[in-house]
Chains A and B, each alone.
Chain A
Amino acid sequence: MQKKENIRNFSIIAHIDHGKSTLADRLLELTETVSKRDMTEQLLDNMDLERERGITIKAHAVKLDYKAKDGNTYELNLIDTPGHVDFNYEVSRSLAACEGAVLIIDASQGVEAQTLANTYLALDHDLELVPVINKIDLPAADPDRVANEVEEVIGLPCDEAPRVSAKTGENIEQVLESIVSLVPPPVNNDDKPLRALVFDSVYDSYKGVIVYVRIMDGKIKPGDTMRMMATGAEFTVVEVGYMRPNSMEPQKELTSGEVGYITASIKTVSDARVGDTVTTAENPASEALAGYRKVNPMVFCGVYPADGADYENLREALEKLQLNDAALSFEPETSGALGFGFRCGFLGLLHLEIIQERLEREYNLDLVTTIPSVIYKVHLTNGDVIEIDNPSHYPDPATIDYCEEPTVDAHIYAPPEYIGAIMNLCQDRRGVYVNTTHLASDRVDLHYILPLNEIIYDFFDVLKSRTRGYASFDYEMSNYQRSSIIKLDVLLNGDIIDALSFMIHSEKAYAKARRIAEKLKDNIPRQMFEIPIQMAIGGKVIARETVKAMRKDVLAKCYGGDITRKKKLLEKQKEGKKRMRHFGTVEVPQEAFMAVLKLDDE
């Protein structure tokens, strides 16, 4: 089999904070792909949000030219991967585009949850692993111990593993040498019909969608008619080329083994979905590459503009974000409580937070979001099964036979002294224990089946705090399981406030209901009339509080003749009223909604 000997395609995988982006920066610097002068920290993460959170959200790719010690110059294609479980599918597509992966392990922390999860993912794709022990500059670094751990836990020989500091640049060249020697070159399949794997796509307002591909078989050049095998959509190729960190470098053609981009005046990223196969209409491949699936949102919530006048702006913002994010779904929704807004679907909670933050930051919108929900399957007594991600679609309880909720297969990695704390937490979250694996003397893997709705909100934060940050967590979707899910309603003055309804396991309903009622009581200002707050399942009230009628709201003093001051105070009060949400005669400030939504943060 003929190979393209001078090409190496690789990813970098690591647990969060083990230094993936910093290492990538050093590689770019060393290969002089970027001059030191142009270096901003973590160049591959070019969204502000990514740099701030220190995580990679979108996958990126870049081509490096490296003159190795053997005298040859190699084309190294670095395909960066997102580093969060919400984006597991994207990670898997990036890996499928490579022959090898650099596995970074922190020299003080050792093997962590995502180290393992990503390793398994890489092995699933038959990638050659290049272990690299990073952060040897840290005082707590213990590369020998960590090398041992990697051999023990992963079974990956580490004698030759480069020991580097991406921060100081120490030994980085060894990483490049290892890539050249360990990662196999791609096979030359130039004469087969085109099959290119889409591992990412981004929307550019000038060029339309830029499709990032790995050419598995065949060739593609401008003028070809490209066809997306999953959707059948066809486009005329305008440009192909290589990605450089700060530019795109057009080429005459891309051939098998290469990584590059295609533009073809494609209007939205949903026409070039991650994982799809590009072929040509002239000479189509008979079979698409394996592994494509349409990414489905897992977590849903209502997103409303705090100021109703911003509804159209919110729609435009969501449309723009969707151009670049095929996993984001939204459709209009109306709430009695919050007015006009959108029901949005996300891959997970991080995805939700990112979108929310981008809407607020990049589009300057003030938002109210409702309690996130997963998709429940409701089996009706007439035999129908309906899927519900929105509590307001919950059917009449009398028509329900039973409900099912999605679960995840979760692995929690931590030092053994935290087993108790973790088990308590998982029990609390209705987890079903599977087993414990001792990975190393100071590391265990607790395997649980957990309901998805118990982990979408704050599970990871609580886990971190109960294990002083030592635990890490990874999950993948498992099956649906029968569960006693009910809908909990909030009533103010006898009226259901739809935006506050949510679905919850019946065992947890009482405690939660009491806390929400208290929270609302504290956050709803006293008004002219007494306001009963009731928490109800079906018609049955399970918790109740009362906001007493307002007794005092008066400016006693006349401030001498300073009438303007009084007028201003009244104006301010009127303004305050405008920002309230009105339900019949009850006024609820935005803060009350936020307080209920953030209930779990305490």
Chain B
Amino acid sequence: MTTTTKPAAPVAAAPARRPGPASLALRQGRLEIRQFLRSRESVVFTLGFPIIMVLIFASIFDGDLGNGVSYTQYFITGMIATGLMTVSFQNLGIWIPIERDRGVLKRYRGTPMPKWVWFAGKVIMVLVIGVVMTALLLAVSVALFDLNLPSTASAWLTFGWVSALGITACTLCGIAISSLARTARSGSAVVTPIALVLQFISGVFFVFTNLPSWMQQVAALFPLKWMCQGLRAVFLPDSFGANEPGGSFELTRVALVLGAWCVIGLVLCLTTFRWTTRRDG
């Protein structure tokens, strides 16, 4: 066989301009945040709702819980937990079905974008909006209702990990539950009642230990109760731990339950997530 000179291989085309994985994820996150901020409903509902609730609650209950601890100090924990759940669980549970119905997800699937990038974009969006919302809540409460911010590094650390674990669990559950909605409009019908019931039974609107004990036990199966409890450890004096159902703030159990919900949420996401609607194969 004679050796033939192959035509010179075309000079490697312009070096791949595609960004690396980290930058792909950041671009996706930026796009998600931009879409969120431009959608008036999301901004008003997701960011505005917890703040309006704080304004209402702090204005109605301006007394104190004893030992000079104000009601605001107690309710802010529920409001932050609710806010974190709103930006993750409700936000995703409502918007993903809309995007799926519109065919946005299908469109992404037709590109070389690695699947995880889309999820990373949602997570980045949720984290950024969650931090902004928490900061706004704290700022409003400090400015108008004399909220005392945590004063020790360890309290801030607890604040950080409880929030991070809680928002992760709610994000994963929000992505998972998005596959239950059959149409764009049913997302909020699926998610809103769940969120509302959890808020009532988890001690967001009432002092948790004043609730009937069966209700407390039901609430203890879900993440919101533990997020509230973890945040109470941050914003209330240590002595208040004795008032909790378990006789202390039980931070280890908070971590375990929230961690378990992260695992459950992740498994549900991996097994049930749909890129297309049912009628769409």
The yes or no verdict on A and B being binding partners is no
What is A's interface to B at a CB cutoff of 8 Å?
Answer: none
B-side residues, CB < 8 A to A, are none
